[in-house]
Amino acid sequence: MKLFPDNFLWGGAVAANQCEGAWKADGKKESICDHLTAGSLNKNRVFTSGIIEGESYPSHTAVDFYHCYKEDIALFAEMGFKVFRLSIAWSRIFPHGDDEIPNEEGLQFYDRVFDECRRYGIEPMVTLSHFEIPYHLVKAYKGFSDRRVTGFFERYVRCVMERYKDKVKYWLTFNEINFATMPMGNLEVLGIINREDDEVANPLDDRNLRFQALHHVFLASARAVAAAKEINPEFKVGCMLAHITMYPLTSRPEDMLLMQELDHLINDFCADVQIKGSYPGYVLRYLEKNQIDLTVEPEDEAVLRNGCVDFYSFSYYMSNCVTTEEGHATTLGNLLGGVKNPYLETSQWGWQIDPKGLRYTLNKIQDRYGIPIFIVENGLGAVDEPDDNGCIHDDYRINYLRQHITEMERAIEDKVDLIGYTVWSALDIVSSGTGEMKKRYGFIYVDKDDQGNGTMKRVRKKSFYWYKKVIQTNGGDLTDIEI
């Protein structure tokens, strides 16, 4: 049976800071990510206010997409990508963030990338802010906690939307915006640093300031949507959330209520604002209860109302459980861990693998919003070992993707309006959470290790050939292949 619509957008995704490298090339200045050291599963990444000699900062060289983009895009085209999700590094375009004039060389780089995509008929999908706020805005303004930064963001957005209006149709405003509902979102989403040399996973948190900054990010997102509609009415703009799917661990009503409360705050809040255009009641209650007094200007209500997105996009990697009971085993996860689910296996990085949770999540989103849905991140971070012939038999990744695509099919049968799927990640890139190269997600192996050694050669993994067949058959054939 043919389930995926003919125009379904199959592809892969990356973010500038995790793939481009060339951190100071052609006028680019530092972004917040350029100040994050490498970590690992057991060692948190640290933000350093200066660049410390001898420290490793993975974004500085990453996998050099900046210079290898032609080869990489040719490989994406060989797999049959219909769409390629990438982010624009804000600090390539406005190096300090508050500059009056954009950096022409930065603009030309993305011209070349989009032209290359178009040459192969690949639709670029652009994230406007993927943990890449210019460092100057962090230092001089404390990121989005300063309302003026929304104006700088709008200037940047208008600039790139005007420039690429005939090359890019799909835009996402803030990557995993709901990260900011948790202390961890201070740095990467909001650009707030409350103490020198902070740990990304465990920052000093000023909750009032964080929610104020998030309010400004909502305004920035809404203004980006309004700008998009003015510049090209054909543009499609999406919100982007990390959907942290949760289950109550037990059937105790207390667990159900806790699950609902967390689900509301972590998963629903940001999308409700970006899709419905106003703050939901449960958030007003949360703000009241926690004595968070937001400064809201009279025009904000209309700005939010007039800046609703066209589609819902999200990342989905794992699920976890919540309970009011103490003493249960815990698990790690994307942005947020939780209580261990006894029915699920975990990845090498301790994230619980839950394909059926994806079907549940897609149905939940469909019921709540009724707008088109795009899965813009899903994939498995794993250690890949080339064999003696240099081949990478990543059957574990194929299994993970096959199970998730199968649940996407079921969700489409459930009448979910799913329009596309970009696997994280198109090629191996630096892990955002740990800063490792070892945690690989790609269809294409990049020969570089955590110490920065390697030829940077690109090698097709087994999953490359498998995904090519999936795309060729529009999801009709998910069976194994021989290589």
Residues in touch with ligand BG6 (CB under 6 A):
15, 18, 175-176, 242, 315, 334, 377, 381, 424, 431-434, 439
Pairing type for strands 236-242 and 83-87 reads unpaired
Pairing type for strands 418-424 and 338-339 reads unpaired
Inter-residue contact 171 to 224 (CB < 8 Å): yes
In whole angstroms, what is the distance from residue 443 CA to residue 446 CA? 10
At residue 482, what is the residue type? E
Locate 448 and state its tokens. 């570089």
- Residue 4 or 400 having the CB closest to ligand BG6: 400
Judged by DSSP in three states, 277 sits in coil
Pairing type for strands 83-87 and 458-460 reads unpaired
- Residue 46 or 303 having the CB closest to ligand BG6: 46
Minimum Å gap between C-beta 431 and ligand BG6 is 4
In whole angstroms, what is the distance from residue 91 CA to residue 102 CA? 10
- Which residues on neighbouring strands pair with residue 11, listed in sequence order? 83, 422
In whole angstroms, what is the distance from residue 243 CA to residue 324 CA? 21
- Residue closest to 124 by CA, chosen among 17, 235, 24: 235
Relative orientation angle of helices 65-79 and 462-472, to the nearest 10 degrees: 50
Compute the CA torsion angle 439, 442, 444, 448 (nearest 10 deg): -20
In whole angstroms, what is the distance from residue 8 CA to residue 83 CA? 10
- Residue closest to 426 by CA, chosen among 71, 53, 140: 71
Minimum Å gap between C-beta 434 and ligand BG6 is 6
- Residue 3 or 41 having the CB closest to ligand BG6: 41
Minimum Å gap between C-beta 314 and ligand BG6 is 10
Catalytic residue from among 132, 377, 407, 436 = 377
- Residue 15 or 63 having the CB closest to ligand BG6: 15
Task: Classify the C-alpha dihedral 114-119-124-130 as positive or negative.
Answer: negative
- Residue 84 or 279 having the CB closest to ligand BG6: 84
Query: What residues contact 88, with CB distance under 8 A and at least 6 apart?
Result: 16, 110, 126, 127, 128, 160
- Residue 80 or 442 having the CB closest to ligand BG6: 442
Minimum Å gap between C-beta 429 and ligand BG6 is 7
Minimum Å gap between C-beta 104 and ligand BG6 is 28
Minimum Å gap between C-beta 76 and ligand BG6 is 18
Q: How far is CA 277 from CA 177, 221, 272, 282, in A?
A: 15, 11, 7, 15
Residues 147, 151, 154: CA angle, nearest 5 degrees = 135
Residue 288 among the catalytic residues: no
- Residue 72 or 176 having the CB closest to ligand BG6: 176
Position closest to ligand BG6 via CB: 433
At residue 447, what is the residue type? D
In whole angstroms, what is the distance from residue 372 CA to residue 390 CA? 41
The phi and psi torsions of 398 (rounded to 5 degrees) equal -60, -45
Question: What is the maximal distance between C-alpha atoms in the chain?
Answer: 66
- Residue 317 or 464 having the CB closest to ligand BG6: 317
At residue 339, what is the residue type? V
- Residue 163 or 439 having the CB closest to ligand BG6: 439
Q: How far is CA 196 from CA 16, 47, 105, 159, 187, in A?
A: 25, 8, 32, 33, 12
End-to-end CA distance of the chain: 27
Give the catalytic positions in this structure. Answer: 377
